[in-house]
Structure 1
């Protein structure tokens, strides 16, 4: 029977547990090998550029390759709950800038060297001082081995999302003994559940792993072997799914019916939002955007339901906020603040002094031409003219950050509240290129960053303010669909974020 599960965003998600059952045809398992299958085969659209954490520590489409061989310091679930992994206990000091971690004492790397405080410090420093995605997030951090199994991390400022980051890329730990190896880029040495089989692996195409016989948590290993094949072409991925050549893959939203007809199951995740970023809120480049009525009119101009259907086949949730549902301060009412009302939008534009509308430029990105065409038409319907400018090959983001345009269409990954603030809201945010600053917003950010008694109330107020003041014009959150065959179960509570789920969620079908 066809099953579809949706990653929960409430506390109920934490109640899901991985069923313990024997795979058919296997000999009677031991406690440590319960529900183990022979091989799990997955598909990713891209392969790791480098296994050296100082160069290639990556998340997103490459997360499974790293999770297979490297443990993280902490673990997180789909509800954002943090639990032990390599670290069994953790605490902050009163300034919220010194984090002390107590490590497990029964862990070794796959080359037999010890995973202790000195090794963790060396690994974190190696990542911080490198050039990977995780290096930028570690700027200004220092690390100290307090004793054999205690690590102190000092942050340059309080970071409410830091614990969560230690459950993903920033928390990956590699063996320092491997850093100077000639093959460090292709032969990872970690303490994770699997070991890369370098002899049968074809770099860039097929990555084969075998279960780590000395893994400290053997019950979490559900397969003796893991294979991840790299297939970038959606048609080739669909063919592999229909031919039964994989157990799991990201499903193209436009091929769901065909995949469903073949008896496959789906796990849905709201992994990103798409919409319009209104950067020039002070009107430096587009004076009209300085008026909140204009920004509100822009929000009212969009028929979000039709956009979702046209672009994503209806697979998603319309929204008018940039924040994701998996937080305690999520307010579903902010998803529907602006109803589709082109006549109301025209009235607001007239009140703001723009009865004939206005013109603004936006950068062009050919890969999302359908979205850009629909956006342009719906704004034109209320009198706003969009002129697209080709920024040149690979220069879309650069043209936004320079900044060369007052607004732009964006597909933004679904991230935690504080990370979203750091990317899009704070005066120094990457995607706040005009450096918009507002005193009340700064006050709320102080309360949130320093985890005061008013932090949750401030986050709630901030979210409402950003929607009411129309800093952004999101359209919808996109449902990513991960599909698994009838022989494979997936526990959605283990899926933290992004398009690719945790390898710890897969198990032989019960």
Structure 2
């Protein structure tokens, strides 16, 4: 796929959470009920397509985990536990060969068996699709060893293969060989390994989806409901009304409406989901020379009162931070750049800009609520106090195209928390997807290559050093860690605080 298509999908998955202007959106209608026979889920946005190989991530993974159980399950700490596999290992050194054995007796929802040949068919199909996660793992070839063992020969090293075969990135959300042979049907139905299957006759794309129990699921005890209804409600106020009217059992809320939901008796849980940050894309000073000086980039960090902005924009549904959030962030750097406008001015003067300079920034507008333009406008006011004049452009429908146009020295956005190796390929590598000026740092590039060949504590040390260097070099101006509030009624079970994304099959009902 071309670079622009890839980033458009990546941005769509990252930006759509919390949006008020994305998707068709059902209003709060429909009867309330107290029966445990049906689970009613409300999501702020739905899948762009039902084909996991072509879809983005985020909220739709709640629905996808009900229909497409993955090979591995992603945990809150970015490790991955086996789900459909009984054994797995790296073969040899260097993280270039990965092997796993499937559990026996598992079937797809169309009745076909989950075996090594089916996995090979799916992975080879996935690699050829124009999906946002196709480049996250480069597989040279897929071998089958007997009926249930699969060996992946990687084209480039990766220390996080289990994670990339989980619900993170959709690669692990297998679909049956029969569906892969007919991609048109794969885009309209669900053919995975999961407790539920889509009922197309009772579903309307972009509005609501009806799921019914699969006849072939390997763990009947996990099939807790006779029907699951997923409604797409993009407007936060409409979602709130649906919760208040007891028409939704579980779903996404917005920082602006979550307090009212709590007052109405809805249980609200929230945890870190990503970073609201300004990425200083022109950090080599290609078009905006001052940004090529680390002192200038650090000055921009010191100039911002993160705590005040966080309190005003998201309240308790976020946390101020000086560090771009990944899997190996350093707690000691969370307050690396406290609010200190005097230091900011001094650094600008030492760098040769005592009167400041001008720069252009692009943000995704108000389509993501306070996470977008309201936050950026506030940051711009703080920068102007130390002499940095900022022109902010709002780009709602064409944010990615604008961000990559080389017209802007920086971009303000809300990427999901990601593993370091993924963040590098998104932001920091010379050919990274969101690195329009091709800025590079030889030491960081070397740390990335080293970390990709390591495991466990060695990889953690290497990637931790990479992330610390990114913070010290001030590649970004992180503002706050944002949290997505999830609401649920008093009967819902199976939701654990700290989950990166809720695993739908864990949801249950009590009482």
Q: Distance in 1 between matches of 2:459 and 2:109?
A: 42
Instruction: Indicate if the aligned counterparts of 2:373 and 2:394 stay in contact, CA closer than 8 A.
Output: no
Q: Distance in 2 between matches of 1:438 and 1:234?
A: 41
Q: What is residue 338 of structure 1 aligned with on the other side?
A: 337
Q: What is residue 373 of structure 2 aligned with on the other side?
A: 369
**Given the alignment of the two structures, is residue 462 of structure 1 paired with residue 463 of structure 2, yes or no?**
no
Alignment partner of 1:253: what SS? Answer: coil
Matches within 5 A, 1:167-316: 167-168=166-167, 169-181=170-182, 183-316=185-318
CA 1:466–1:202 in 2, change beyond 3 Å: closer, same or farther?
Answer: closer
CA 1:469–1:382 in 2, change beyond 3 Å: closer, same or farther?
Answer: same
Q: What is residue 426 of structure 2 aligned with on the other side?
A: 423
Q: Distance in 1 between matches of 2:330 and 2:420?
A: 13
**Given the alignment of the two structures, is residue 414 of structure 1 paired with residue 417 of structure 2, yes or no?**
yes
Q: What is residue 5 of structure 2 aligned with on the other side?
A: none
Q: Distance in 2 between matches of 1:289 and 1:243?
A: 51
Of 383, 387, 391, the residue aligned with 1:383 is: 387
Q: In terms of mean alpha carbon deviation, does 447-456 or 147-156 score higher?
A: 447-456
Structure 2: segments with no counterpart, 5+ residues: 1-33, 367-371
Query: By how many angstroms is 1:220 displaced?
Result: 3.2
Query: By how many angstroms is 1:378 displaced?
Result: 0.5
Q: What is residue 369 of structure 2 aligned with on the other side?
A: none
Q: What is residue 356 of structure 2 aligned with on the other side?
A: 357
Q: What is residue 39 of structure 1 aligned with on the other side?
A: 38
Instruction: Indicate if the aligned counterparts of 2:117 and 2:144 stay in contact, CA closer than 8 A.
Output: yes
Of 56, 70, 79, the residue aligned with 2:77 is: 79
CA 1:386–1:174 in 2, change beyond 3 Å: closer, same or farther?
Answer: same
Q: What is residue 401 of structure 1 aligned with on the other side?
A: 404
Q: Distance in 1 between matches of 2:181 and 2:442?
A: 49
CA 1:142–1:443 in 2, change beyond 3 Å: closer, same or farther?
Answer: same
Instruction: Indicate if the aligned counterparts of 1:494 and 1:505 stay in contact, CA closer than 8 A.
Output: no
CA 1:371–1:151 in 2, change beyond 3 Å: closer, same or farther?
Answer: same
Q: In terms of mean alpha carbon deviation, does 420-429 or 130-139 score higher?
A: 130-139
Query: By how many angstroms is 1:126 displaced?
Result: 1.6
Q: What is residue 146 of structure 1 aligned with on the other side?
A: 145
CA 1:60–1:341 in 2, change beyond 3 Å: closer, same or farther?
Answer: same
Q: What is residue 64 of structure 2 aligned with on the other side?
A: 66
CA 1:301–1:314 in 2, change beyond 3 Å: closer, same or farther?
Answer: farther
Q: In terms of mean alpha carbon deviation, does 174-183 or 401-410 score higher?
A: 174-183
Instruction: Indicate if the aligned counterparts of 1:127 and 1:134 stay in contact, CA closer than 8 A.
Output: no
Structure 2 length as normaliser, TM-score? 0.86
CA 1:255–1:105 in 2, change beyond 3 Å: closer, same or farther?
Answer: same
Query: By how many angstroms is 1:139 displaced?
Result: 5.1
Of 434, 437, 447, the residue aligned with 1:434 is: 437
Q: What is residue 90 of structure 1 aligned with on the other side?
A: 88
CA 1:199–1:365 in 2, change beyond 3 Å: closer, same or farther?
Answer: closer
Q: Distance in 2 between matches of 1:340 and 1:350?
A: 18
Q: What is residue 25 of structure 2 aligned with on the other side?
A: none
Query: By how many angstroms is 1:171 displaced?
Result: 0.7
Query: By how many angstroms is 1:380 displaced?
Result: 0.3
**Given the alignment of the two structures, is residue 99 of structure 1 paired with residue 103 of structure 2, yes or no?**
no
Q: Which has the larger radius of gyration?
A: 1
CA 1:202–1:481 in 2, change beyond 3 Å: closer, same or farther?
Answer: same
Q: Distance in 2 between matches of 1:173 and 1:226?
A: 21
Instruction: Indicate if the aligned counterparts of 1:52 and 1:179 stay in contact, CA closer than 8 A.
Output: no
Alignment partner of 1:214: what SS? Answer: coil
**1:158-194 CA distances to partner (integer Å, 9 max, x unpaired)?**
1123321211111111111123456432222222111
**1:429-470 CA distances to partner (integer Å, 9 max, x unpaired)?**
222222222232233222211106743332232222221221
Structure 1 length as normaliser, TM-score? 0.86
CA 1:363–1:198 in 2, change beyond 3 Å: closer, same or farther?
Answer: closer
How many pairs align?
A: 468
Alignment partner of 2:122: what SS? Answer: helix
Alignment partner of 1:102: what SS? Answer: strand
Instruction: Indicate if the aligned counterparts of 1:137 and 1:170 stay in contact, CA closer than 8 A.
Output: no
Q: What is residue 503 of structure 1 aligned with on the other side?
A: 504
Q: Distance in 2 between matches of 1:92 and 1:475?
A: 38
Instruction: Indicate if the aligned counterparts of 2:52 and 2:171 stay in contact, CA closer than 8 A.
Output: no
**RMSD across aligned positions (CA):** 2.2
CA 1:204–1:440 in 2, change beyond 3 Å: closer, same or farther?
Answer: closer
Q: What is residue 158 of structure 1 aligned with on the other side?
A: 157
Q: Distance in 2 between matches of 1:465 and 1:187?
A: 45
Q: What is residue 19 of structure 1 aligned with on the other side?
A: none
Q: Distance in 2 between matches of 1:147 and 1:121?
A: 12
Query: By how many angstroms is 1:390 displaced?
Result: 5.8
Instruction: Indicate if the aligned counterparts of 2:65 and 2:504 stay in contact, CA closer than 8 A.
Output: yes
Of 475, 487, 490, the residue aligned with 1:486 is: 490
Q: Distance in 2 between matches of 1:381 and 1:505?
A: 50
Q: In terms of mean alpha carbon deviation, does 135-144 or 226-235 score higher?
A: 135-144
Instruction: Indicate if the aligned counterparts of 1:76 and 1:494 stay in contact, CA closer than 8 A.
Output: no
Alignment partner of 2:466: what SS? Answer: helix
Q: What is residue 111 of structure 2 aligned with on the other side?
A: 112
Q: Distance in 1 between matches of 2:50 and 2:399?
A: 28
